Structure 1
Amino acid sequence: MSVVKSIEVVLPQDAVYLAGSNIDGQVVLTLNSTLVDPVVKVELVGRGYVEWNEEIGETRDYSRDVICNNKADYVHKTKTFPIKDNWLPSTFSSKIGHISYFVQALCMGREHILAKKKLYLLVQGISEFRQRNLSEGHLEREERNQLQHFVLAPSQPTPVHGNPVSVEAEKKVSYNCCSRGWVSLHVQMSKNTFVPGEKVTFTSEIRNHTGKYIKTVVFALYAHVQYEGFTPSAERRRRADSSELLRQMANARIPAFNSTTVVSAFNLPLVLSVSSGSQENEIMRSSYELVVTIHLPWSLSTVKARLPIIITSTREDKANRPQADEFDI
């Protein structure tokens, strides 16, 4: 029978940690008998890895392919985790790569590990804008914290501003053999920069200059990721991939030779990779796009408007200073 009956890591359920914040939890160790000079160690580990296969090239043998891969170690420390410039990428997972973080508790005897427990974390990375604020605005925050020491009100998220976005698309269509017309789509947003979990609202103005009925408008949010890897001979390779994060359908019901305006909204996921900045040694870079589509089945065509979306993170963490036995990610 093992001396250690169980070891558990207790953290807030479904918590999302912003890079630079503290992890506060407990390690619960249950023993079957007395353990002499035990050592309980807690680690925070963050790693990223990408891998894919691709053909060698036009002038080479297409019957063989080459494996491209890349990896990154973001953090692997015990108790205190000072990260340069306080930058970490977001938790991420796809068929090609992943970035994951976990807290691991170990109970060790004099010669070997008696028990261990691993618990994965959701980490929301910060943007390059937030990174500069952390380094350049440190003294200003210190003064502000002192002045507001007795203000018993919850801190509010830093507002995120962005430029208004307006995109137009138009398509001339044929229907009923000889009839011709056009459908136009105008999509606008008050800003184009958002933080994870924020509500995104936009307006679609549709003009139906045909004799047909338009029933629905579909909008979808896409993530475009560029992965960077190396072949066994150290040749740099890149691969692009896209995935649909969410899709919704709005009932437009636009009669012939008529127009309408549709206001749509959706909430972003709580954890998203921030839009790519200038960080060095990134194994993947992300960008986002909102696509609004009008399907015209009677003409076998569609009208699409594409709007770039910038994902950043400027939310202030609740605890700016790590305490004595807390994790600072």
Structure 2
Amino acid sequence: MDRFGIVFDRGTFFPGEPVSGKVVLKIGKEISAHNIKISIHGAGRTEWKEVIRNTRYVDGKPEWYDETLCYSADLKILSREEMLWKAKTVSKIPAGHHVFPFSFRLPSSSPPSFEGKHGHIRYGVEAELDRPWRFNQVDRRDIKVSSYLSPSPLSNSPATKKDVKEIGVMFKKGVVKMKVTIPKQFVSPGEEVPITISVDNESSRPARRIRWELQQQSHFHASRDSSLRKKSTHHEQHRDKIKTVAEFSRRTEVPPYTKSEKEMVIKIPALPPTFQSTIIKNEYVLVVKLDTETSLNNTLRCEFALVIGKARPRPSAVPSAPALVDRSDSMPPDYSSLMPLDHSGAGPSEVPPSYEDSISVTKM
């Protein structure tokens, strides 16, 4: 067999839209086959283990032991199967290049693809060629699912955060103030976001460095069934994972008792969008820091919650009727407003003479 595989129409799919493509079969000679079927599957799962120290009594004496608790949760998104081709009378496929198109529609509530430390959300398509008396041919492909977001007016507006700190511990060095402004909090991968940092250094020590970092904050939810009591109880648990996905540091100089304004640019990397499902929640936080020249209590900090993703496309505008024209005296009259002609009298509206009448000579 030369080739049997899945080819998608595009690389990324969105909720509510079809996952479309084709199964390609290229063979140099005729083969026997029962059918060709295709299936799509989407699901999420979280899981982790936790070891706790417990005690029990053996022969009346306490004994310590380790107990492993297993937490997990599953999210079913979709599971469908379709028959692309099935033999009727003769279970033969002739030699040549064969194409079998397919299409599955994703549920509108589908969360995006995601891979994390304690869980994942995955989508995949599998095609299978059922052959008699031979091993079946199978091809599996993962699907990348993203999501559209609907930003609020507030997330598209400028945001400002402030921090004030009296630096030093035992020997105070004075007050340093920092104000950070970003143009908006809804951003897309690949977008460059300017950051404006205003520093008012009222201390006796200079500010030396400005830093920013973009954090991915993932939250995982799971549960376990416990039989410690007579009645089974449901124990819920969660895990958090904070990961720095981008960062930058720049040396600066804000001398004592001076003010300064600095600008930096952050380029948003390719990341899974902000989303929330029943088992996984994914968020992003931009942290901006200012380091001063003191050994302790020397860093000012501002945080912004960012929404990262692709904005939902606006619906196509329906063409509206042309506007009424304000007619002036110099324009010709509107024909729909003309008065009907009076056909009762003589004039251009009279019935024209016949041909005979036109050529006859009037006698005097």
Answer yes or no: is the 8 Å Cα contact 1:106–1:115 preserved in 2: yes
Answer yes or no: is the 8 Å Cα contact 1:199–1:266 preserved in 2: yes
What residue in structure 2 maps to residue 100 of structure 1?
Answer: 122
Matched, 1:8 2:32: no
Within-5 A mapping of 1:1-329: 4-11=1-8, 15-31=11-27, 33-56=29-52, 63-78=66-81, 79-84=102-107, 86-110=108-132, 114-127=136-149, 129=150, 162-174=156-168, 180-233=173-226, 234-276=234-276, 282-296=278-292, 298-300=294-296, 301-311=298-308, 313-316=310-313
Match of 1:122, SS state, is: strand
Residue deviations 1:224-267, cap 9 Å, x none? Answer: 22211111434222222211121122343323332322223323
CA shift in 2, pair 1:51/1:111, >3 Å:
farther
CA shift in 2, pair 1:269/1:160, >3 Å:
farther
CA shift in 2, pair 1:267/1:113, >3 Å:
farther
Residue deviations 1:187-243, cap 9 Å, x none? Answer: 122322234444433322122333434332111111222211111434222222211
CA shift in 2, pair 1:216/1:40, >3 Å:
farther
Q: Aligned partners of 1:11, 1:317: CA distance in 2, in Å?
A: 25
Match of 2:117, SS state, is: coil
Superposition deviation, residue 178 in structure 1: 5.2
Superposition deviation, residue 108 in structure 1: 1.8
Q: Aligned partners of 1:160, 1:74: CA distance in 2, in Å?
A: 31
Superposition deviation, residue 117 in structure 1: 1.7
CA shift in 2, pair 1:45/1:252, >3 Å:
farther
Which amino acid is the alignment partner of residue 172 of structure 1?
E
Q: Aligned partners of 2:7, 2:154: CA distance in 1, in Å?
A: 33
Residue deviations 1:167-200, cap 9 Å, x none? Answer: 101211139x856122221112232223444443
Q: Which shifted more, 118-127 or 164-173?
A: 118-127
Match of 1:191, SS state, is: coil
CA shift in 2, pair 1:268/1:203, >3 Å:
same
Which amino acid is the alignment partner of residue 73 of structure 1?
K
Which amino acid is the alignment partner of residue 195 of structure 2?
F
Which amino acid is the alignment partner of residue 256 of structure 1?
P
Which amino acid is the alignment partner of residue 230 of structure 1?
S
Match of 1:63, SS state, is: strand
More helix by share: 1
Q: Which shifted more, 110-119 or 212-221?
A: 110-119
Which amino acid is the alignment partner of residue 183 of structure 2?
S
Superposition deviation, residue 22 in structure 1: 3.8
Which amino acid is the alignment partner of residue 238 of structure 2?
R
Answer yes or no: is the 8 Å Cα contact 2:19–2:105 preserved in 1: no
Answer yes or no: is the 8 Å Cα contact 1:107–1:113 preserved in 2: no
Which amino acid is the alignment partner of residue 305 of structure 1?
C
Task: Answer 1 or 2: higher relative contact order, Cα 8 Å, separation at least 6.
Answer: 1
TM-score (normalizing by structure 2): 0.66
Aligned length: 281
Q: Percent identity?
A: 20
Q: Aligned partners of 2:305, 2:43: CA distance in 1, in Å?
A: 29
More strand by share: 2
What residue in structure 2 maps to residue 139 of structure 1?
Answer: none
TM-score (normalizing by structure 1): 0.72
Match of 2:173, SS state, is: strand
